[in-house]
Structure 1
Amino acid sequence: MDFSNATTYIKVKDHSVSGEEFELLLDADLELLKTHPQPAPGKLGRYYESDDYISHTDGKRSLFEKIYHTVKQKALRDKIKLIQNFQPQKGKLLDIGAGTGDLLAVAKANGWDIAGIEPNDKAKKIAESKGVVFMEGLEAIADESYDVITMWHVLEHVPDVDAQISELKRIIKPDGVIIIAVPNYRSYDAQYYGEFWAAYDVPRHLWHFSKTAIEKLFARQGIKLIKVLPMKFDSFYVSLLSEKYKNGKMNFVKGFLTGWKSNRKASRNMEYSSHIYVMKIAKN
């Protein structure tokens, strides 16, 4: 992707770890934002060194974490239901960025042949205690191996999106399903919080997607978008964190109201805080 002619969309800080400031550059044709500068791969790990990075822990220390993990249980059931709606025949499921392995553990209990990919050793160790099996990387996977591939809030962390999409196309079966979930910077809560919007999460999030960006990026590699679905809880979760970044503390009432307003507006314009994209290889 060529961002040589991109314009600055907004400047944002890393609110959770380093306090450093980054630009988000806009590719107007793709409606895609790029974090600039992007840390070198060898230096990116230090930006994840926080006990507050919830996807890498099963911790329930604070009220916020307890709420997160309670809601997560319903979200897991909904994800399995979604997967099986689009791929009724249970087969091989790969979850890229599996975190602490909860989705794969539930999928395994529901009869799926599961595997995960997760770069964080701490999260991987927790997942392995739940019976999750890991692949070392996509390059070790044979062509047309999986019936379903999922990436839940992972694509925004990937340095080379085009190469990642190419690998997804290589390892998915011809009739398989690819499910991607990412934040949506065009949502109301993103516009409301601006530089304090927690889902920018720079520099861990290297890319920031719109619906147009996802559809175009996958289409140019022969993958067709067949369904866009909302992740309604994300507006509340992100708004609560954004309140903390903006005002120094979590205002549960204001965060909840902003999340509710974001979902209400999205019910009309279909711009939710996060979206789930369901895709298949296009038929010639």
Structure 2
Amino acid sequence: MYLLVPNEVLLACPVCGSPNLHDKLHVQDKSVSQETFIIQQCLACGFQFTNPRPDAASIGKYYESDAYVSHNSAAQGMVNRVYKAARYFTVRRKVALIKRLNGGRQGHLLDYGCGTGHFLAGAKKAGWQVTGLEPNDRARHDAAARVSQPILETSALAKLATGSFDVITLWHVLEHVHALHDTLNQLISKLKPSGKLLIAVPNAESLDAQHYRQNWAAYDVPRHLYHFAPAPMQRLLASHGLRLIQTLPLVLDAYYISMLSERHLAPERAGGPLAMLKAGYKSNQYAAQHGGQYSSLLYVAERADAGR
């Protein structure tokens, strides 16, 4: 199925502004449209991004799949069953993490791009005052029922009170956001002076990204507009007056992404569960020995002037 939608072309790197770009990979959207998209890389800072890309008004068509588990809690199949099983454990870890980062106490939490609301529900149950923003209608309604409170559209971000949140989280969300800099500016303005911004994204410099190349499921074009790595991410955060205080591994992602990537391979190359487990294990082992280049990373940042 090919989707003819308006595209937009970026003429410069979204992170450093350099116009020196080159085509790195051609990647097929194997989830929805079967179209092929170009991933470009900035020759100045190394940042990778999908270019051209569907514009913000049109990209919703590329999310129209019942298998897209982030927007549909009823999604079925082996991959989604694994995702849901892992989510049970990761939600508890996430809630414990934000409490630790907030000095061992509950506070006010904003989850931007909250999906179907499982993390929000876990945080609320643990005593947090929670606010969720989500652009997808189905996911937003699902989350509202799960959290037992209204979930807002992402456009409501501008109306939230300045300096009102102890923690703001984006769990695999920033790679989807067209208005990258405007959104970061608005999110930062909603943080309390000592608040923490948590951004979880795939790492395009991980071993599993190198292994699967154009079949790496975390490229997820065109839904993933940006393909982050530690150095460009740190540069992006610094450009917004943020200080990176911690980078944490998301070790389960290596197995989940490898499982999805194996499904993208041609039948004669694809392996079974053993191949997925081997790829995930090797990726995590490599990361442990090579500067923490895990399949996905969680960046924890605060204002550079925090505490002054």
Q: Tell me the amino acid that sits aligned with residue 141 of structure 2.
A: K
Find the partner of 2:59 among 35, 44, 54. Answer: 44
Q: Which residue of 2 aligns with 1:192?
A: 211
| Contact 1:104-1:132 within 8 A present in 2 as well | no
**What is the root-mean-square deviation of aligned Cα atoms in Å?**
1.4
Provide the residue aligned with 2:8 in structure 1: none
Q: Residues 157 and 186 of structure 2 are in contact (CA less than 8 Å); yes or no, is this contact kept in structure 1?
A: yes
Displacement of 1:40 after TM fit? Answer: 1.3
Residues 42/244 of structure 1: CA separation in 2 closer, same or farther (3 Å cut): same
Amino acid at match of 2:38: E
Residues 66 and 75 of structure 2 are in contact (CA less than 8 Å); yes or no, is this contact kept in structure 1? no
The aligned residue for residue 301 of structure 2 is 279
User: Tell me, which stretches of 5 or more residues in structure 1 are unaligned?
Assistant: none
Deviation, 1:4, is 2.7
CA distance, structure 2, for counterparts of residue 102 and residue 3 of structure 1: 39
Across the two proteins, how many residue pairs are aligned to each other? 284
Query: Is 1:260 the equivalent of 2:260?
Result: no
Distance 1:11 1:64 in 2: 25
State the Cα distance separating 1:135 from its structure 2 match: 3.0
Distance 1:34 1:65 in 2: 26
Stretches of structure 2 that go unaligned for 5 or more consecutive residues are 1-13
Q: Deviations over 1:177-222 (max 9, x none)?
A: 1100000000000000000000000000000100111111010111
Work out which of the residue numbers 162, 175, 180 in structure 2 matches 1:161.
180
Counterpart selection for 2:45 from 14, 19, 30:
30
Change (3 A) 1:271 1:41: same
Q: Is the 8 A contact 2:18 2:44 kept in 1?
A: no
Matched residue, 2:5: none
Question: Which of 112, 131, 143 does residue 128 from structure 2 map onto?
Answer: 112
In the superposition, the TM-score normalised over structure 2's length comes to 0.89
Q: Is the 8 A contact 2:53 2:222 kept in 1?
A: yes
Q: Aligned runs of 1:200-239 on 2, under 5 Å?
A: 200-239=219-258
* CA deviation profile, 1:259-280 (whole Å, cap 9, x unmatched): 1110010111110000001110
**Cα shift at 1:5:** 1.7
TM-score (norm. length: structure 1): 0.96
Aligned equivalent of 2:10: none
Report deviation, 1:251: 2.1
Looking at structure 2, the residues matched to 3 and 234 of structure 1 have their Cα atoms a distance apart, in angstroms, of: 31
Q: Residues of 1 paired with 2:149 and 2:112: CA distance? A: 12
